[in-house]
Homo-oligomer: A and B are copies of this chain.
Amino acid sequence: MASIEVSNKQVILKDYVTGVPKESDMLIKCTKLPLQLKDGAQDILVKNLYLSCDPYMRGRMKNIASYFTAPFTPGLVINGHGISKVVISNHPEFKQGDLVAGFTGWEEYSIIPEGRGMRKILHTDVPISYYIGALGLPGHTAYIGFFKVSSPKPGETVYISAAAGAVGQLVGQFAKLHGCYVVGSAGSKEKVDLLKNRLGFDDAFNYKEEPDLNAALKRYLPNGIDIYFENVGGDMLEAVLENMNIFGRIAVCGMISQYNLEQGKGIKNLSQIIIRRIKMEGFLEPDYAKTYPEFVEKVKGYIKEGKIVCMEDITDGLENAPAAFVGLFHGKNIGKQIVRICDDK
């Protein structure tokens, strides 16, 4: 049977990347896709609407298999989290027109084998792009890292690095709702203003203007840090270790300052972990699938009640996806970096 063929632009990884990713590490390829599915499998064909740019994707551009995700394949399309609309479905759980969130390709149309990794979006009373932001991977990451990993108590001090990022901005807002004193750092005046004036942080500073991070932390958190939400690693971690309170907790979500280095910066003061009895714990969102329903219900409630502000940084057009992704490593985005391929209307 003849089927309609559509043009299908794709973002291709040219080769494994060393150092800071550049736009030229990716290329835009124009391909064609017949709008049909092969018989016998419960695949779905989706039109991609929004793509998520996440720092962890940098790791997949190295030729190193990790414990939680495989490297991208040079010459093939990049994939990641996205919001899509079902065009054709051979899967009983999905039907044409359904909005879905999950793993998809950086391309206009994708075939999702067996619909794997896709979740139906049931409630569209919030912007659907939130399902890759505050209600998606970054939101759930913030939720787990703060409520499950950090054992927070009202009145404690919370410090968040990369606080204007997709995860950090939510951690800070969760911490405020929990009754904590919250300080964040970011890399521009604009972001610092955002943290203080829009997102309700008690205080915030521009780490680029602080020659001595240790002194800066002592100034902004004179009572020390009970909970550090770690997004950056390196020098910041070293300074934080000198400012943790006894029995403090460090939720290790990311170390973005280290991702592009061939060899990480050496942390010299880990003996503070003993002296201050610090608990430091790394975590990954996919391990916490069980808490997703609880999280989405609670946080959607906060959003609808106006208790949480979701900052998105939306770039239009698939062809601009490489620049949007690269921008993550230059601190360009304010809030969740999203690529809008097309609207869902």
Residues of A within 8 A of B (CB): 66-68, 233, 237, 246, 252-255, 258-259, 263-284, 287
- Give the distance in Å from the alpha carbon of A218 to the alpha carbon of B278 in the complex: 28
CA A273 to CA B145, docked complex, whole Å: 14
Point out the residues of chain B lying under 8 angstroms from A267, CB to CB.
Answer: 266-268, 270
**In the complex, are the beta carbons of B284 and A270 less than 8 A apart?**
no
Bound form: Cα–Cα A270–B252 in Å: 10
- A275 CA to B277 CA, complexed, in Å: 23
Are A271 and B255 in contact, with the CB atoms below 8 A? yes
Task: Report how many copies the assembly holds.
Answer: 2
Judge whether B280 and A279 touch: CB under 8 Å: yes
Contacts of A269 in B (CB 8 A): 264
Please tell me if the beta carbons of A275 and B282 are within 8 angstroms of each other in the complex.
Answer: yes
Query: Main secondary structure on chain A at its contact with chain B?
Result: loop
Question: With the chains together, A258 CA to B265 CA distance in Å?
Answer: 18
- CB of A264 within 8 A of CB of B271, answer yes
In angstroms, how far is the closest chain B Cβ from the Cβ of A281?
4
Contact of A270 among B237, B276, B283 (CB under 8 A): B237
Residue of B nearest to A246 (CB): B67
A210 to B44, CA, bound (A): 54
Contact (Cβ within 8 A) A66 B275: yes
Contacts of A263 in B (CB 8 A): 268
In angstroms, how far is the closest chain B Cβ from the Cβ of A283? 6
Contacts of A278 in B (CB 8 A): 281-282
Q: How far is the CA of A264 from the CA of B263 in the complex (A)?
A: 18
- Does B255 contact A274, Cβ atoms closer than 8 Å? yes
Q: Report yes or no: B273 in contact with A284, Cβ–Cβ below 8 A.
A: no
Given A279-B279, A279-B282, list of 11 further CB < 8 A pairs?
A: A67-B275, A67-B276, A233-B270, A233-B271, A264-B269, A265-B266, A267-B268, A267-B270, A273-B282, A275-B282, A278-B281
Q: How far is the CB of A81 from chain B (nearest CB, A)?
A: 18
Q: In the bound complex, what is the Cα–Cα distance between A271 and B277 (angstroms)?
A: 20
Q: How far is the CB of A119 from chain B (nearest CB, A)?
A: 23
**Are A282 and B274 touching (Cβ within 8 A)?**
yes
| A255 vs B259: C-alpha distance when bound (angstroms) | 27
Question: Which of B259, B264, B277, B284 touches A287 (beta carbons < 8 Å)?
Answer: B277
A277→B149 CA distance, assembly (Å): 11
